[in-house]
Each structure stands twice: as structure tokens, then as C-alpha cells.
Amino acid sequence: MPTINGDLSKNLEPLIAVLTDDTAQAANIRERLLAATARFVAQGGAPASASMTERTAYLITYGDSIRRPDQAPLATLRHTLDATVGPLISDVHLLPIFPWTSDDGFAVTDYHQVDPALGDWDDVTALAQNRGIALDFVANHMSSEAGWFRGWLERDPEYADFFVTPADDFDTSQVVRPRTSPLTHRYERPDGSIVRAWSTFGRDQVDVNAANPATLEALTDVLLAYVAQGATTIRLDAIGYLWKESGTSCIHLPGTHAIVKIWRAILDHVAPGVKLLTETNVPHPDNISYFGDLTDEAHMVYQFALPPLVLHSFLSGSASRLSEWSRHLEDLGEHATWFNFLASHDGVGMRPSRGILTAEEQEALADRAHSSGGRASYAAEPDGSQSVYELNVNYLDALVDDNERQDDAVVASRARAAHAILLAQIGVPAIYVHSLFGSRADIAGMVESGVNRRINREKLDADALVSGLEHDARRRGVFEALSHMLTVRRRHAAFAPTSPQEVLDWGSQVYAIRRGSGAEAVTVVVNVSRTPARIEGRDRIDVLTGDSVGSIDLQPDGVVWLKEG
């Protein structure tokens, strides 16, 4: 069992100093953090966490993305994964599984309870028996119906200062906004008085006051509770907005980084192996700042530029942008890595592609989203112009044009090619549930709800899904292609998360990278164009097929993973 010793207190001191220069308050924060950690240890700590290897692959899913009548959805998810992918999916990222009031789970009312509509903690424990579990910690904000917030409105001393009411002289002129709604909203107390509270993402999602020592202690309790329940990865949702200071952007502030580092220090001390994943859908330099010094902050950050760049490659028929960007990725060493994905519950964020794709290239992706039945949202720039902010689209549909979309074989072939890039890229791969199972766009769900992101959030009937993997050509084709690549990937140490990567210049038609070194190296080549690409070379083995391959004409959507024989 882990213990608490003086090393943790010593490690926390310089981080707490970033939060306050008040000696008494710093001591208060330190004692509260140590108390939360001691409670975790006294309750038994956490099970051991496996290291990430070439066998690591995450599935991103809601707890009820797959359902069956009269069965808890979390149990249905477990049974379905066991019956379909087995060990090919090593880790499951469960999007918020807690009671909620809006934003499809991201307005949490109780951090410590599983939504009864999904199941209970026993269902999470059962799922964790064969897989790692990533739990979503919505640390920046909670529902306006949450007990913490209701207690604050009622002036319960336990929740005093848990939320942010900016003073009249608080300068918000530089605050970066991800929404067009007001920065603060008015709420009525039980006595009829009105109070304002900071609400970055809308009226029903109220920001916590992380500068308050009691709030930080409570948040730390939540983090450690998830670990105690078996989480091996903690995703810190919208973490960039956590700290507020007058006259600043209120995003990516030193206080935010200090808190992430505090949580990393605590986890390293009492739950080594548990990984922190930060979710900051922002331009690349801001995103990678959450790696800290590569040993003291996030273990993983989302590779947000990858989805739009892969989509652009197939739309334009050229891998040049993708190759150039990938060639200049930072060397992260052995202790940190990328969390790679193509599709997720949200749309394809376009902000991370700024400076990589031109405005015209971004607009072309927006046009593709519209032509495939989706939507594109725009953000206002300081000069009054607009830029593409997000694509709400089924990623598999966006990969193909209008004439190809009804051809299930083409969709499966394009999905295979795109995911070959995902699975080969340095880091760990994360596949969205609807991509793994070849789902189509839920346009009716988007239109009926008025929520653009619902285009990619359909709830699947488990039995119909399993049947579709046999009888639906699109589902079967996509699932078999991705499953085969996952199977092969697990056999080659070249695909370990921190294994070396070299981008090769084999022409704009192909994305070509070499992973690993020496005899273990694997060269991945994907033809993103619509014409054959000539690949010159000596005889090697394509580990996807077992065939010997020399110089070849790689067909459109063609994929080879080449290894010395």
C-alpha cells in the first residue's frame, strides 16, 4: 500500500507557491492536499496500472453508446466489446458517466455517483477487469443543479467560495471564450437575492473556484476517487480554463498548469502508472504546454491537429501538409506521448490546424462537411473576419465524396487507409466507437435535437450492431479492416508509444513514416491520392498480408506496413 511521506509535501511546495504568495494560505492548501491524499491511501489506494505498449489502443465511447433493453448500458458495452473486439481494445475512455443535466453529460450534478441510467460502480469495476479505464473528470465546471452549487446558493459554509463571482473591478476584457453566451449568468438564491457566477460554457455549466483551498481539496478528492474506482487514465476536460485572474485571457494560466502538476505529483506518489490526459482543443503550442517538462505534468495530450490534417490529405489527394507537420513534431522522450485520434464525440476542431492549413484549405473541409450532411461552425476573428472553428460530421462520411458515399467498399477502404495513419503515428491510438463499427451519420438525431454534435452520437442497439457486423457491408468492411490492423499492430514493438518516428519523403501522394529502428523497424505507406503511386524498393515483407513486396504501384487508399524479411 502506498504511504504519504515528506517527499510529497516538499514536491508540492513550489507548485502551491504558484497559486498564492500568502504563507498561511499556502500552508492551508498543502495540508488539505495531503489530507485528501491520506484519505485515498487509508481507503486502500489503487490497483496497479499497466504501462502503455504497442498493444495499447483506446476506444472513445459514451457509457450508453451501445444499448440493450433491460440491461445496464455499461454492462452492455462490456459484453459487446468482449464479443467483438476482445483484447484488441486495451483501454476504454468512458465519456462522463455521472448524473448530468445538459451537454450530453458534461454538466455533472454529482462527481461521485454513476448515472443510474448507465449502471453503477460495479459495472465500471467489471469493465475494468479486462481493460484499462479512462474516466472523464469535468474539473472546470459542473451543473447548475449540482449539490455543490446549490449549497453555494444556499450559503452553506461548506461551499463558501466554491464558485466565482467576479468583483466589479475584475477585468474580463482579455478573456478567451469558447462560446458566444455571456461569461457570467445570474442565479437566484433561496432568499430571492440574485448572484452572478462565472459560466464559461453556458448557464448550466458553472465554473468552480479552484483558487479556494476547500474547492481544490474537493476536486482532488474526486480525482483520487476515480483512481480508487479503477481508473487508469484520467481525462481532464476543458482544463485550460480552470484558473481565473483579472486582466488575463483566463486560459492556460500558470495556476492551471500548477494544479495539473499538483495532481501529477500526487498520482506519481500514491498511484504510479495512472495517466493524466489533458483536453485542450487549442493551437499546437498551447496544447503541448501541458506536457510541462515532459515528466511533471500531463502524460498525454490530444493530438488535435491530426484529424483535420488526415481529412485534408484525402480530400486534396496530397499528404504534403500532413508530412511536413508530422516531420516537425516535438521529441517527447520516454515519459510523455501523444493521444492520437481522428473522430470523437465532438466535432473536428479546426483551430489546431491554423498556420498549417490555409484559410482556403480549411474552407474546403467545411464544404465537405456540408456535402456529407453535416455542419461547420465559425469563429469571429479580431479583424472582423470569420474562420472555420469546428466540423460536425461523421468522419467516415467526410473521407469520401458525394459519389463514393454510397459505395460501402470505398468507405471501408478509405476508413482503413485513414486509420492506418492513426495506428502508425507516434503515440497511442484512440478510435471512436462509431468509427470502429462503421456507423453512418445520425442526421435525424442532429436535426431533431438541434445539437450539431449529435450527428456523431447515435445510440446503437447491441444486437442490431452485432448482426450488422455480419450483414451490413459498410459495418463489416470497416470493422474487419480496423480489427486486422489492430491485431497486426500488437505484434510489432515498432508501434510502441515512444518508439522513434521518421517521416519519409516519398512523394506527395503518400504518407510514409518509419517507426522503430534496426531490425524491428516498420515502414508504413498510405496512398492518399486517387491515382496509383509508384513505390520503389527492395523486397520486404508487408506485415499486414505476409506478402513479399518490392517495387509496387500502390493503389488509391492502398496501405503497406513494410518490414525487413
Residues tagged active-site: 237
The residues with which 59 forms a beta bridge, in sequence order, are: 92, 431
- Is 203 exposed, middle or buried (CB count within 10 Å of its CB: 0-12, 13-18, 19+)? middle
Confirm if 144 and 206 have CB atoms less than 8 A apart.
Answer: yes
Phi (first) and psi of residue 218, to 5 degrees: -65, -40
- Element containing residue 373 per DSSP (H, E): none
- The whole-angstrom separation of Cα 376 and Cα 392 is 6
Chain centroid to Cα 280, Å, comes to 9
Report the amino acid identity of residue 527.
N
Return the closest-CA partner of residue 224 out of 42, 463, 73: 42
Return the closest-CA partner of residue 455 out of 469, 445, 466: 445
Residue bearing cell 485572474: 245
Tell me the longest C-alpha to C-alpha distance in the chain.
80
135-163 burial, b if ≥16 CB within 10 A, otherwise e?
A: bbbbbbbbbbbbebbbebbeeeeebeebb
- The whole-angstrom separation of Cα 55 and Cα 378 is 38
- Element containing residue 83 per DSSP (H, E): helix 73-84
Residue 508: C-alpha distances to residues 255, 309, 425 (Å)? 43, 14, 18
**What is the SS3 assignment for 257?**
helix
Question: Taking the CB of residue 443, how many other CB atoms lie within 10 A of it?
Answer: 17
Phi-psi region of 33 (alpha: psi -120 to 50; beta: other; left: phi over 0): alpha
Chain centroid to Cα 435, Å, comes to 15
- Element containing residue 234 per DSSP (H, E): strand 233-236
Report the amino acid identity of residue 507.
G
44-66 burial, b if ≥16 CB within 10 A, otherwise e?
A: ebbeebeebebbbbbbbbbbbbb
- The whole-angstrom separation of Cα 430 and Cα 420 is 12
